[in-house]
């Protein structure tokens, strides 16, 4: 890359600008290129990756004892019972957005007095993506880029670990999906009209 080589060497930057002057026909053209670059840079900063609460409307509960899995206000609550070996909150057809980057959530988990082996987990396509068997709470985040644009099976579960007690409880909350920025049509229109304006001004001058 000839221009890249020039830019990497500060001493040779001026010849590049001079060349742009020749292409554009005036120093104003160069100035406008610099201003346009600054505007695009600012737009880039404004459009950084952001997180949004995961839409849980497509999820279902799987349990035999009603009320063992509930969801309210974005918080999933699991209460172990003596009938179900596993309690699931799941979506068999979760469509991962093309620009999804990470899935994050908070958890809390408590074992009953005689519950030794129970655990809380999250799965993607039936493969464990996270689990804990330690009482406590925390924040979890995992990479979703490998699943961009795919329809996956996504679930959280409280699993019976083989003890004789049914005293474990767990919760999952603040579930967020982070996405990389995608320029909105309105933004693209602004950039496009700005470019058209630059070209128009340049033509008037010539
Ligand atoms: Ca148990």
Model pLDDT for residues 169-183, shown as the tens digit of each residue: 999 999 999 999 866
Q: What are the beta bridge partners of residue 89? A: 61, 156
- CA–centroid distance, 104 to ligand 1, in Å, is 26
Model pLDDT for residues 71-88, shown as the tens digit of each residue: 999 999 999 999 999 999
Higher-pLDDT residue of 154, 19 = 154
- CA–centroid distance, 123 to ligand 1, in Å, is 20
Lowest mean pLDDT among 7-21, 56-70, 120-134: 7-21
**Tokens for 52?**
């949004």
- At 190, the pLDDT band (50, 70, 90 cuts) reads confident
Domains of the chain, residue spans:
2-47+183-205, 50-179
- Give the pLDDT confidence score for residue 45 in this predicted structure: 55
Higher-pLDDT residue of 38, 24 = 38
- CA–centroid distance, 118 to ligand 1, in Å, is 5
Q: What is the mean pLDDT of the chain?
A: 84
- CA–centroid distance, 132 to ligand 1, in Å, is 14
| Average pLDDT of the segment spanning 36-43 | 65
- CA–centroid distance, 67 to ligand 1, in Å, is 17
- At 41, the pLDDT band (50, 70, 90 cuts) reads low
Whether this model's pTM surpasses 0.85? no
- CA–centroid distance, 171 to ligand 1, in Å, is 15
Lowest mean pLDDT among 63-77, 142-156, 160-174, 177-191: 177-191
- CA–centroid distance, 112 to ligand 1, in Å, is 7
Q: Is CATH 2.60.120.260 the classification given to domain 50-179?
A: yes
- CA–centroid distance, 77 to ligand 1, in Å, is 15
């Amino acid at each position: 890359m000839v221009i890249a080589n020039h830019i990497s060497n500060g001493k040779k930057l001026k010849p590049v600008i001079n060349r742009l002057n020749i292409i554009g026909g005036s120093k104003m053209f160069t100035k406008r290129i610099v201003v346009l670059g600054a505007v695009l840079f600012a737009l880039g900063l404004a459009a950084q990756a952001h997180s949004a609460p995961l839409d849980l409307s497509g999820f279902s509960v799987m349990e035999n004892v009603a009320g063992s899995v509930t969801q309210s206000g974005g918080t999933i609550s699991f209460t172990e019972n003596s009938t179900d070996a596993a309690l699931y909150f799941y979506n068999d057809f979760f469509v991962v957005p093309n620009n999804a980057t990470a899935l994050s959530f908070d958890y809390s988990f408590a074992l009953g007095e005689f519950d030794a082996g129970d655990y809380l987990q999250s799965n993607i396509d039936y493969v464990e993506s996270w689990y804990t068997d330690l009482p406590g709470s925390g924040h979890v985040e995992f990479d979703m880029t490998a699943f961009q644009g795919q329809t996956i099976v996504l679930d959280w579960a409280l699993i019976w670990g083989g003890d004789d007690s049914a005293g474990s409880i767990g919760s999952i909350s603040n579930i967020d999906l982070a996405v990389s920025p995608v320029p909105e049509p309105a933004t693209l229109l602004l950039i496009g009209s700005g470019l058209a304006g630059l070209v128009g001004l340049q033509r008037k001058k010539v």
